[in-house]
Amino acid sequence: MNAIPAETPVETFPPGGRRRHRKPRQNGTGTGLRRALVLAMAVPVASAALAGPSAFAADKSVGAAAKTDDMDAGDQQMATNLETRVLDQRLGSEVSGVVLDADSDTTIWGHNASTALMPASNAKLATSTAALTVLGPNHRFTTKVVYGNGTLTLVGGGDRTLTTADLADLAKTAVAGLKAAGLTTVKVAVDDSLFPEPTLANGWNDGYYPDTVAPVRALVVDGHGVQDTSIDAGQVFAKQLADDGVTVDGDVTRATAGRGNVPVARHTSTPLKDIVHTMLKHSDNNIAETLLRMTALAAGRPATFQGGTEVVREVLSQVYGVSLDSFELYDGSGLSRSDRIPAATLAQILELLTEPRYAHTLGSILDSLPVSGEAGSTLGPEYGRFDDADSKCAVGKVHAKTGTLTGAIALSGLTQGKDGKWKVFSFVENGSTADPNAIKDAMDDLAATVNGCYA
């Protein structure tokens, strides 16, 4: 387990403090946001004009802190309870947390909120925000089949949700074309040149491959966790061709489709918003890393960890005005043990979901967050979430992204408090030696406290 760098906690978000409410000037549409990002990246000197502080102010020196007495009784009780419960021994000593009231634009409670810790899969909140902003929620990824010189080439387009059934449909179309041309034998190749050769991210080790995450390639079928997902997909495709009566000559090889190749068949994925839904509900590392690369490409950057994370930073800061103080991101999934994100920043990202003008672009994130007690999600009973005496009252009431690494557990999301208003929260712990399930129970208790049912 990597050690967490020691740092002096700085409390910059006093309970009841009002956050400066000056937002970037955006029109709220995906196209407008992407245009702003392109301009910001093309003209870095002018980018400051695109990015005033968000509601969770980057300019922390502005605005007097309201007195705790100005909060209503429910928020006061919540803050008091959190102050005690964040010291739960199960959470250890490295804990960062914050609660915002999205309606009144105030910080209700904070504990080491600016301390940057390993966010684990909470990093996917940043990845999905950038992907939806740059690509747009209705973007679809395309997988193609082309023919040339006796070879059918399956061309990967970054669709991490491609299935065997999809390849079967591509094969049927291809076989019909081959037979119409009087061809019964063909070679099969795969083209995954959309992405460069896979590498390890800073903070990854090769022990992650291929179960925790597969080497990131532009072609994969059924989410197979194998070393070479492209060749694997080509083999599945070749079998479909053979089943449909075409002889496949030799083994599947890797090649780059030539410009003169003839288009034979194509498959388009479901919209990006649906893919984000799958990624967040199940915390899918492979989808996250693929989206990071597709986001980079759409913004004119290399399809690499560095290219993708640079775009994530630019979207957050230049489009939405999110503070990147102490923000370090080296991958799209949060698997990197070098990633560092403060709870304050995670809360800023989530707070965007409460703003109507961003609903079209980012609304699918809110819809995709696991719900407390939701079977089939990472907050479901099969993971032992929200099932203890103190947190079970919040079943169905908390929408949050989970995060779990060895030595790092996080929970960030939204819930409606006792006053019916949306509360945005983020809790991140690093280094606790307690049983991970016990840590998660303590995290769930904090979320139930924000909801107000655990009074």
pLDDT at 5: 31
Residues above pLDDT 90, as percent of the chain: 82
Record the tokens describing residue 321, joined without a space.
Answer: 């005005």
- Give the pLDDT confidence score for residue 36 in this predicted structure: 52
The answer on 45 and 88 residing in a single domain is yes
Give the mean pLDDT of 359-369.
Answer: 97
Give the model confidence (pLDDT) of 16-70 as tens digits.
Answer: 344 433 344 344 444 444 545 544 444 332 232 223 333 333 333 222 233 466 6
Tokens (6 digits) for 128: 């999905």
Reported as a single tens digit per residue, the pLDDT across 233-252 is 999 999 999 999 999 999 99
Residues 280 and 376 reside in one and the same domain: yes
Do 184 and 258 lie in a common domain? yes
pLDDT tier at 8 (50, 70, 90 boundaries)? Answer: very low
* pLDDT of res. 103: 87
For the chain, percent of residues with pLDDT exceeding 70: 85
What value does the mean pLDDT take over residues 10-14? Answer: 34
Same structural domain, 220 and 293:
no
Whole-structure pTM value? 0.87
- For residue 259, give its domain range: 142-269
CATH code (residue 64)? 3.40.710.10
pLDDT digits (tens, 9 = 90+) for 246-272: 999 999 999 999 989 999 999 999 999
Where among 227, 243, 269 does a domain terminate? 269
Q: Is the pLDDT of residue 430 over 60?
A: yes
| Same domain assignment for residues 208 and 237 | yes
Work out how many domains the chain is built from and give that number. 2
Does 286 share its domain with 312? yes
Bigger pLDDT: 65 vs 95: 95
Per-residue pLDDT tens over the stretch 195-242: 999 999 999 999 999 999 999 999 999 999 999 999 999 999 999 999
Last residue in a domain, options 250, 269, 288: 269
The domain that contains 164 carries what CATH number? 3.50.80.20
Confidence of residue 127 (pLDDT cuts 50, 70, 90): very high
The pLDDT value recorded for residue 20 is: 34
pLDDT per residue over 377-420, tens digit each?
A: 999 999 999 999 999 999 999 999 999 999 999 999 999 998 99
Label residue 104 by pLDDT band (50, 70, 90).
Answer: confident
Supply the mean pLDDT for the chain.
88
